Amino acid sequence: MYDYHGNAGFITLGTSRETSACVCDAIALAWQEDRAEHYPHAQQILLTFDAGAANAARSLRFKEDLVALSRRFGRRLRVALYPPYTSKRHPIEHRLFCHVARRLSGVILDSHQTALEAVQRTHTQTGFTVTPRLLDTLYELGRNVLRHSSISTTNSFAATLFSGNETTSSIPTDFRDKCSTYF
């Protein structure tokens, strides 16, 4: 998770499989432990994803989990997906992952604790810090979509942020300014 306005990052290190439930639990953990106190009056949260694996644009399971997460938060979730092969333009790549990767360079990751401590030391001269947490939950694969799901496959669930030739500055201003968090 990268907080655009707060200049802060939150990383969950999972011990199980990456599923839609895992992604939503990681978002919930980041919001509850780190970001909610900074945005107590937030009415909506912007979630940006790179449209792959557990957070695929066409995954009904992921959409159901996001709806449940929205109800759990009592806030509207605005979801925007980067098209395939454009994740390199995602702000989280340039403002979070690059600093964490530099901090992990040369570290022997022999335990979860070693990884958490290395990520915890990530910071920049501009005050950027990263909060790591361990997500130690077992997630099952092959979970079925609810039979009477309120999500229709014909509904447009996610906005596409830009085409392949544009930059991240083309993210609509209302997305960037009204919402605080990139995941």
How confident is the model over 3-56, as pLDDT tens digits? 988 999 999 999 998 899 999 999 999 999 999 999 999 999 999 988 778 888
Based on the structure, what is the number of domains in the chain? 1
DSSP state at residue 54: G
Lowest mean pLDDT across 95-99, 139-143, 177-181: 177-181
Give, as one character, the DSSP assignment of residue 27. H
Transcribe 29-51 into DSSP letters.
Answer: HHIIIIITTT-TT--EEEEEE-S
Alpha-helix runs per DSSP H in 57-110 = 60-73, 91-92, 98-104
Q: What is the mean pLDDT of the chain?
A: 82
- Alpha-carbon gap, residue 26 to 135, rounded angstroms: 7
Cα–Cα distance, 21 to 145 (Å, whole number): 12
Q: Which long-range contacts (CB under 8 A, 24 or more apart) does 32-38 make?
A: 33/131, 33/133, 34/1, 34/8, 34/10, 34/131, 35/1, 35/3, 35/6, 35/8, 35/10, 35/180, 35/181, 38/3, 38/6, 38/180
pLDDT in tens, 131-164: 999 999 999 888 888 765 555 433 344 444 444 4
Q: What is the pLDDT of residue 109?
A: 94
Residue numbers of the domain that contains 22: 2-182
Give the contacts of 2 (CB within 8 A, at least 6 positions apart). Answer: 8, 9, 91, 92, 95, 96, 181, 182, 183
**Rounded to whole angstroms, how far apart are CA atoms 65 and 74?**
14
